């Protein structure tokens, strides 16, 4: 099969659709979303039976339990996906918003208004729910999307994308607005990475290898998502109870996600007070600790090496380091952090302000769990990913982060002198 | 020489400086800018004598008159450069601005605040003034910059960058905040393009070849600037006098820049009324016309080919096409436009609104010259370039467009349920 020709045909259709999508009315977009949610619900059994094929293939291939769990769709999860689409329908339409407006010295009236990005390419792995989530956000923000999911979920993705596409076009969205790539050969990804002619932005969603591959090889602009080597720093003046609750939450609430913490930094003057109780609480949640020398002088645990400070475990493992002061903590975070989410637990006003000011990360917390770095928790209504870059969007990305803008200039014959 | 080691040393210095630059006070940044402007003025003679070497080398190499003119620095131009730096000192500091703030369902207080991008890499060609302009904007926006100018201007750039660096560090800015690469070997550019470790964003400024090279090869995020195949559409109801003034201005005011127009589209019902007078005015300004068949039935001119519609002349040449209606004009712009600046001349309310809505470009004009797509004209006070992409920034880029943001989250022990 000629993959280039296949992608060119899909790409041109998506691009042509994006031109119309930019001006589809809010009413039509919302109707399409509600119809998609309805169609998902009505086809629950078909989705489950196609998903069963993926689960069977995955089991035969020996995929890990964690991946099989991500793959699995049941009635409850399908209802949750449909309900997420309903929610997107209820969000404000970002397109057409006047972001700012001003008048120039020569009486030109300029409005900066929000417009879609165009064609958004999403490259993802084993989560079939991305097919629906990403589609819903792209529709609402007036973008076309080209979705390329992983081979593990291909049967689920094909049936879901067919249901979506049918409901979308029947609701009046242009053909091609939701474009699913039903070939899982990696060559397709290589083509997408350099498909500047038809894709305006690429959002990779998945593991570190996928993201690195996209960032290193794409000529299409990329929004990098995902990697989070996050820290909690327990300052000298911390409320110990809050500190323990926050650390346990940030480590164990969902250890496999990017906003979970991987290392804690503890002020030397509070270490003895907190480490015993903390160890008990964490070990009760099956967390394995790896400590620096000072830590190991206070509690029993494995030794942390240089590699541990740099590792995103995504697992029930936590590195522990005793630091001499806030400067020491800031240095450690600067050296090993990935600019995702960082927290200080402190009662000191001055140190809270310093931490907020000096830590360079998408989300910087005082006395709260890093697990809140999330579009839903921030109140964005939905999320297409968490950006770990500084260009365009940083942190949780909702509808607004899927938009660009243009300047409208109202003149009266002005020419430049 | 080991270019990689050379760049690594420069890059790490710039990166370390960017960490401090993020929190340099507005007062120190402004003092540094005023001192830089002063030092530029005081060293006018040295700059002129170093510039003379570039002009001599360029003349010997047979550079075009246009490039030699861009290279040339005289007292007036140096004063203009210094004065531009003074102006940047007078602009509001964008860093620390609270872009928005909100409270979540669980009483987290979140502020989204403006922060610098980090290290901005500028790759440019023969204009030594970019060395100063870009530096001033990066300093004010709290970024470090790594500047790599073209070989044609190397003597001018070296002396200017030395003057800037000295004034900057003497004013309290960290060493490395303004980093100039004094090697013009192209291998340096190749290293910069993939220098993700130390550069947060690359802004290429120069001709189409440079920009293409950067976009196609960089792994560092890029803001694409420059190419503009801009149009004026003269609608049926246009005020003929305004139309002629705007076309003449947009074509001839400065034909070598990206916001100059390259093709005009004229409604068939007004073509006869306007073409004779327009030809006279344009030819009076030495503009060569290239027309479609219908144009050539009305006025004498060369024939426009398919290639003309796609060409950014950057010269005193203008393609002319008669179109049947606004749909025809919109199709032509969709097909050949580069999403930079597009204008309609019309007295029709409905058509003005359609054009503003349906044209996908950074700047869409009604009854004004496209030459206003410019940071200075928009009132941004200064400009680092005009983005022709949709990600991050679109159109004229001033100080704000050199920033990112971070979320500060004020908690009280919140954990995620």
**What is the model's pLDDT at position A188?**
93
Please check whether residue A83 lies inside any domain of the structure. yes
Residue A109: band (very low, low, confident or very high) from pLDDT cuts 50, 70, 90? very high
Q: Identify the closest residue of chain B to A193 by CA–CA distance.
A: B216
- Check whether B178 has a pLDDT greater than 80: yes
Express each pLDDT in B58-77 by its tens digit: 999 999 888 898 899 999 99
Instruction: Give Cβ neighbours of residue A384 (< 8 Å, ≥ 6 apart).
Output: A122, A133, A134, A137, A203, A375, A397, A398, A401, A402
Bridge partners (DSSP) listed for residue B203: B122
Residue B125: band (very low, low, confident or very high) from pLDDT cuts 50, 70, 90? confident
Tokens coding B260: 């100059």
Please check whether residue A234 lies inside any domain of the structure. yes
Measured between beta carbons, which residues in chain A are less than 8 angstroms from residue B368? 108, 409-415
Do B308 and B327 lie in one domain? The reply is yes
CATH assignment at residue B119: 3.40.605.10
Do B195 and B54 lie in one domain? The reply is yes
Contact A249 B415 (CB under 8 A): yes
Q: Can you tell me the distance from the alpha carbon of B188 to that of A28, in angstroms, rounded to the nearest whole number?
A: 51
Using the Cβ of A347 and the Cβ atoms of chain B, whether some distance falls under 8 Å is answered with: no
Express each pLDDT in B6-27 by its tens digit: 999 999 999 999 999 999 999 9
Contact A406 B104 (CB under 8 A): no
Q: Describe the crossing of helices A129-140 and A26-42 by its angle, rounded to 10 degrees.
A: 160
Q: Give the distance from residue B397's alpha carbon to the nearest chain A alpha carbon, in angstroms.
A: 12
Which is more confidently placed, A316 or A225?
A316
Sign of CA dihedral A353, A359, A365, A366: negative
Helix (H) or strand (E) holding B244: helix B240-252
Using the Cβ of B376 and the Cβ atoms of chain A, whether some distance falls under 8 Å is answered with: no
Using the Cβ of A257 and the Cβ atoms of chain B, whether some distance falls under 8 Å is answered with: no
Do A150 and A249 lie in one domain? The reply is no
Residue closest to B266 by CA, chosen among B234, B239, B238, B295:
B234
Residue closest to B416 by CA, chosen among A167, A319, A286, A370:
A370
Average pLDDT on A162-182 reads 96
Measured between beta carbons, which residues in chain B are less than 8 angstroms from residue A357? 23
Average pLDDT over chain B reads 95
What are the CA-CA distances from residue B23 to residues B26, B112, B114, B248 (Å)?
A: 9, 16, 12, 47
Express each pLDDT in A7-45 by its tens digit: 999 999 999 999 999 999 999 999 999 999 999 999 999
Please check whether residue B47 lies inside any domain of the structure. yes
Contact B391 A391 (CB under 8 A): yes
Do A145 and A264 lie in one domain? The reply is no
Please check whether residue B417 lies inside any domain of the structure. no
Contact B221 A221 (CB under 8 A): yes
Residue closest to A80 by CA, chosen among A41, A45, A35:
A41
Do A156 and A198 lie in one domain? The reply is yes
Name which of B121, B222, B281, B372 to mutate to probe chain A: the one with the most chain A Cβ atoms within 10 A of its Cβ.
Answer: B372
Contact A372 B201 (CB under 8 A): no
Tokens coding B371: 């030459």
- Strand ranges inside A127-171, DSSP E: 144-148
Do B22 and B110 lie in one domain? The reply is yes
Q: Are B112 and B99 in contact (CB under 8 A)?
A: yes
DSSP A33-77: HHHHHHHHHHTHHHHHHHHHHHHHHHHHHT--HHHHHHH---HHH
Express each pLDDT in B65-109 by its tens digit: 888 988 999 999 999 999 999 999 999 999 999 999 999 999 999
Measured between beta carbons, which residues in chain A are less than 8 angstroms from residue B414? 367-369, 372
Q: Can you tell me the distance from the alpha carbon of B122 to that of B115, in angstroms, rounded to the nearest whole number?
A: 19
Contact B118 A369 (CB under 8 A): no
Please check whether residue A27 lies inside any domain of the structure. yes
Residue B336: count other Cβ atoms within 10 Å of its Cβ: 18
Q: Measured between CB atoms, which of B215, B390, B413 is closest to A245?
A: B413
Do B178 and B42 lie in one domain? The reply is yes
Express each pLDDT in B298-325 by its tens digit: 999 999 999 999 999 999 999 999 999 9
Query: How many structural domains is chain B composed of?
Result: 2
**What is the model's pLDDT at position A282?**
97
**What is the model's pLDDT at position B247?**
98
In B, residues 389-408, which contact A (CB 8 Å cutoff)? 389-392, 394-395, 404-408
Contact B215 A223 (CB under 8 A): no
Q: Give the distance from residue A293's alpha carbon to the nearest chain B alpha carbon, in angstroms.
A: 29
**What is the model's pLDDT at position A27?**
98
Please check whether residue A206 lies inside any domain of the structure. yes
Express each pLDDT in A200-246 by its tens digit: 999 998 888 888 899 889 999 999 887 899 999 999 999 999 999 99
Q: Measured between CB atoms, which of A222, A241, A372 is closest to B416?
A: A372
**What is the model's pLDDT at position A172?**
97
**What is the model's pLDDT at position B257?**
87
Do A136 and A174 lie in one domain? The reply is yes
Q: Give the distance from residue A136's alpha carbon to the nearest chain B alpha carbon, in angstroms.
A: 20
Q: Measured between CB atoms, which of A196, A249, A378 is closest to B416?
A: A249
In A, residues 259-318, which contact B (CB 8 Å cutoff)? none
- Check whether B359 has a pLDDT greater than 80: yes
Do A213 and A255 lie in one domain? The reply is no
Longest dimension (CA), chain A: 78
Place of tokens 């990360």: A361
CATH assignment at residue B332: 3.40.309.10
Q: Identify the closest residue of chain A to B378 by CA–CA distance.
A: A104
In A, residues 180-209, which contact B (CB 8 Å cutoff)? 196, 200-201
Using the Cβ of A411 and the Cβ atoms of chain B, whether some distance falls under 8 Å is answered with: yes
**What is the model's pLDDT at position A152?**
93
Express each pLDDT in A173-199 by its tens digit: 999 999 999 998 889 999 999 999 999
Do A212 and A251 lie in one domain? The reply is no
Average pLDDT on A39-57 reads 97
- Check whether A294 has a pLDDT greater than 90: yes
Do A140 and A112 lie in one domain? The reply is yes
Average pLDDT on B254-260 reads 91
Name which of A391, A394, A395, A398 to mutate to probe chain B: the one with the most chain B Cβ atoms within 10 A of its Cβ.
Answer: A391
Please check whether residue A414 lies inside any domain of the structure. no
Do A213 and A291 lie in one domain? The reply is no
Please check whether residue A349 lies inside any domain of the structure. yes
**What is the model's pLDDT at position A382?**
80
Which is more confidently placed, B328 or A67?
B328
- Check whether A283 has a pLDDT greater than 80: yes
Structural domain boundaries, residue B167: 3-224+389-409
Measured between beta carbons, which residues in chain B are less than 8 angstroms from residue A245? 413, 415
Express each pLDDT in B188-239 by its tens digit: 999 999 999 999 999 998 888 888 899 889 999 999 887 899 999 999 999 9
Count chain A–chain B contacts defined by CB atoms under 8 A: 193
Using the Cβ of B349 and the Cβ atoms of chain A, whether some distance falls under 8 Å is answered with: no
Q: Give the distance from residue A62's alpha carbon to the nearest chain B alpha carbon, in angstroms.
A: 33
Q: Give the distance from residue A386's alpha carbon to the nearest chain B alpha carbon, in angstroms.
A: 12
Q: Can you tell me the distance from the alpha carbon of A72 to that of A49, in angstroms, rounded to the nearest whole number?
A: 11
Q: List helix spans (H) across A343-397.
A: 349-358, 375-378
Q: Give the distance from residue B46's alpha carbon to the nearest chain A alpha carbon, in angstroms.
A: 33
Using the Cβ of A368 and the Cβ atoms of chain B, whether some distance falls under 8 Å is answered with: yes
Average pLDDT on B353-380 reads 96
Residue closest to B23 by CA, chosen among B199, B196, B172:
B172
Contact B364 A410 (CB under 8 A): no
Measured between beta carbons, which residues in chain B are less than 8 angstroms from residue A223? 391
Contact B407 A246 (CB under 8 A): no
| Percent of chain A residues past pLDDT 90, beyond the cut | 89
Using the Cβ of B223 and the Cβ atoms of chain A, whether some distance falls under 8 Å is answered with: yes
Using the Cβ of A249 and the Cβ atoms of chain B, whether some distance falls under 8 Å is answered with: yes
């Amino acid at each position: 099969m000629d993959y280039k020709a296949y992608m060119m045909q899909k790409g041109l259709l998506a691009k042509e659709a994006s031109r119309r999508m930019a001006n589809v009315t809010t009413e039509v977009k919302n109707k399409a979303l509600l119809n998609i949610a309805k169609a998902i619900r009505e086809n629950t059994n078909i989705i489950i039976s196609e998903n069963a094929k993926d689960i069977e293939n995955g089991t035969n291939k020996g995929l890990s339990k964690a991946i099989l769990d991500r793959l699995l769709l049941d009635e409850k999860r399908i209802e949750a996906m449909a309900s997420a689409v309903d929610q997107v329908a209820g969000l404000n339409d970002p397109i057409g918003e006047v972001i700012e407006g001003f008048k120039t010295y020569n009486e030109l009236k300029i409005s900066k208004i929000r417009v879609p990005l165009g064609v958004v390419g999403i490259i993802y792995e084993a989560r079939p729910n991305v097919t629906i989530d990403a589609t819903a956000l792209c529709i609402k923000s007036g973008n076309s999307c080209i979705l390329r999911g992983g081979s593990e979920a291909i049967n689920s993705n094909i049936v879901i994308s067919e249901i979506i596409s049918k409901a979308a076009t029947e609701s009046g969205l242009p053909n091609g607005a939701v474009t699913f790539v039903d070939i899982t050969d990696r060559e397709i990804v290589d083509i997408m990475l350099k498909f500047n002619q038809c894709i305006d932005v690429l959002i990779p969603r998945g593991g570190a290898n996928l993201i690195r591959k996209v960032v290193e090889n794409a000529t299409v602009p990329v929004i990098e998502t995902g990697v989070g080597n996050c820290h909690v720093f327990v300052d000298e003046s911390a409320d110990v109870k809050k500190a323990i609750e926050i650390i346990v939450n940030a480590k164990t609430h969902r250890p496999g996600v990017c906003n979970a913490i991987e290392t804690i930094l503890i002020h030397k003057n509070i270490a003895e007070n907190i480490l015993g109780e903390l160890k008990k609480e964490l070990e009760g949640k099956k967390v394995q600790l790896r400590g620096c020398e000072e830590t190991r002088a206070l509690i029993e645990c494995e030794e942390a090496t240089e590699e541990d400070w740099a590792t995103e475990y995504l697992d029930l493992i936590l590195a522990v380091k005793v630091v001499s002061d806030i400067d020491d903590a800031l240095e450690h975070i600067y050296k090993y952090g990935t600019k995702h989410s960082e927290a200080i637990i402190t009662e000191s006003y001055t140190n809270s302000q310093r931490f907020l000011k000096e830590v360079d990360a998408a989300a910087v917390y005082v006395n709260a769990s890093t697990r809140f770095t999330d579009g839903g928790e921030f109140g964005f209504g939905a999320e297409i990913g968490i950006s770990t870059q500084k260009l365009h969007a940083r942190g949780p990305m909702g509808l607004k982060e899927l938009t660009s803008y243009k300047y409208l200039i109202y003149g009266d014959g002005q020419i430049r002198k």
